[in-house]
Structure 1
Amino acid sequence: MKQAIVARADLGMGEGKLAAQVAHASLMAFEDADRQAASEWKGSGQKKVVLQANGESELFELADKAEREGLPHAVVRDAGHTQLEPGTASALAVGPARDDLVDKVTGDLSLY
């Protein structure tokens, strides 16, 4: 079981902003998971990997693929209080789900 969080590298977010967006995405997708997946993931160490996307269109293509695969997922849209414009799609989390299912969506991406 794992969760992949995909953050947009093209936005130039500072380290703190990036950490906040990744945390938002992780929690939102966890809340989208069914009880069994959430429980298995929590019990197995809550494995996460942070990957990068090169733009908004790539982020939404991945979200669409996760939707088609029936995986829990969430897109973060920033509130615009600090570094980003309001509504900017900054990150996507896929999972928690089996590693192979998450990899079907995010397996070709580079680590952040």
Structure 2
Amino acid sequence: MANVQDRGPPSTAAVAIGTAIVSGLAGYFLGQASSIGLFGAAQVPARRSKSGKSGPEPDSSSSDEDSDAKAVPDAQSSSDESEAQDLGELETFPGNTEECKLVLVVRNDLGMTKGKIAAQCSHATLACYKAMIRADPSHPVLRQWERMGQAKIALKVDNEEDMLMLQAQAVSLGLCAQVIHDAGRTQIASGSATVLGIGPAPKSKIDEVTSHLKLL
């Protein structure tokens, strides 16, 4: 039997094969150890918002449509009640049992997209609601409208002149009437009157102003 000392040094091929086997085994066991969390999970720092709180950053691709308008009364400070209520006294319609509704009259000549129209109508709805609350937080017509499902009807008008005439007529009947003016950051010129909100009010009273208009 040959003595170990009589053997020559390993060949280059044997060294290479041995190294490959050792490396493969080491990689396998390291991978298994990592998969079971032996080395701990990597810590990924959370992004911080501008407020300093950690969490996902807000989606910067959201539309600006819903921040592009303002109601004429709301352009003033909320503390200036006389300026904010410069549309006459609101009728309470005592004893009314009729269905109440809110009508949104949209300018048809501006070429607004559906999304733009939806945003402007939302502004008009909120402006009317806030105006009614400022006038009387417990306004009977407002409360009745809330109880009966907050009906809203979208109509169309051909131009700004006709819209302002409708507003004047509504105010003369004691109805809440708010015109929304666009800020001009997206589609149309700054200051453009886009939507007239009338109500909430009894259906028959609003129809005195808008019954001749077509649905949007």
Report the TM-score range of the alignment, normalised by the length of the smaller protein: over 0.9
User: Residue 10 of structure 1: SS of its match in structure 2?
Assistant: coil
Letter in 1 for 2:148: S
Q: TM (normalized to structure 2)? A: 0.51
1:5 aligned partner: 104
C-alpha deviation, 1:18, in angstroms: 0.4
Contact 1:28 1:73 in 2 (8 A): no
Q: How does 1:1-112 map to 2 (within 5 A)?
A: 1-33=100-132, 34=136, 35-112=139-216
CA displacement 1:28-85 (0-9 Å, x = unmatched): 1122224222111111000010000000001100000011111011000001111111
Letter in 1 for 2:188: L
User: Residue 204 of structure 2: SS of its match in structure 1?
Assistant: helix
**Structure 1 unmatched ranges of 5 or more:** none
**Which is strand-richer, 1 or 2?**
1
Q: TM (normalized to structure 1)? A: 0.96
Contact 1:74 1:94 in 2 (8 A): yes
Whole-angstrom distance in 2 between the partners of 1:69 and 1:45: 24
Whole-angstrom distance in 1 between the partners of 2:130 and 2:175: 12
**Runs of 4+ more than 4 Å apart:** none
2:86 aligned partner: none
Whole-angstrom distance in 1 between the partners of 2:109 and 2:161: 11
**Which is helix-richer, 1 or 2?**
1
Quick check: which has more Rg, 1 or 2?
2
Q: Quote the RMSD (CA, aligned, Å).
A: 0.8
C-alpha deviation, 1:88, in angstroms: 0.2
**Structure 2 unmatched ranges of 5 or more:** 1-99
